[in-house]
Amino acid sequence: MRTPNRAREFERTVKGELAVLYRVARRMGVSAEQAEDLVQITLVKAFQAWDSFDGRYLRSWLIRILRNERLMALRSEHSESSIEDTPDAELCDGPFWDEVSWKLEAERVLVELDRLPDIYQLAIQLIDVEQLTYEEAARVLEVPIGTVRSRLFRGREMLRNRLQGTSGTLEQVHS
């Protein structure tokens, strides 16, 4: 039986992570409503496992539960994301980030971010947005650190290319 104190502790501790969980859920290819449902299921699972949580890396722990729930749903739908989805043609060599001041409209960034394959969205969200370390992200994604790094780098480059591809609206300031 869970004591009231433990329940309050869970609520107090987890409340600060709700926005993170929701944003990460949104990077997993689900709608806003589905993201809320996914967060709720994550909370149920986390609450059930709260007594066994060792207190370290709360954010990583919660996101891993979230991801596992999403993966279970994907498996049941037979639609797992795959690294083979990578459109390599979008990548290029040569100077890449130079001389560009990226003043991007938030809405456009989100649209293009959503268009990336989920594995790249997630890598960017975890590290660039939620500021997890590579080690934490690797733990969440259950992949080696090198895989996290390659997904992150490739994701950034794909996003950069797509945003620049909308050149009619992208504001670039050459210094």
Query: What residue ranges bind another protein (CB under 8 A)?
Result: 1-2, 4, 7-8, 10-11, 14-15, 18-19, 21-23, 26, 31-34, 36-41, 43-45, 47, 69-70, 72-73, 76-77, 95-110, 113, 124-125, 127-129, 134, 149, 152-153, 156, 159-160, 175
- When the beta carbons of 101 and 166 are compared against another protein, the nearer one is 101
For residue 143, what is the DSSP state? S
- Would you say 56 or 103 has its CB closer to another protein? 103
Exposed e or buried b per residue across 32-69, where buried means at least 16 C-beta atoms within 10 angstroms of its C-beta: eeebbebbebbbeebeeeeeeeeeebbbbbbbbbbbeb
Smallest separation (angstroms) from another protein to the CB of 46: 8
CB of 87 to another protein, least distance (A): 19
Q: Which is nearer to another protein, 57 or 134 (CB)?
A: 134
Shortest Cβ 123–another protein spacing (Å)? 11
**CB of 136 vs another protein, minimal distance in Å:** 13
Q: Which is nearer to another protein, 60 or 67 (CB)?
A: 67
CA 53 to CA 33: how far, in whole Å?
28
| DSSP line for 37-99 | HHHHHHHHHHHHHGGG--SS-HHHHHHHHHHHHHHHHHHHHT----GGG--GGG---S--STT
Contact 35, 22 (CB under 8 A): yes
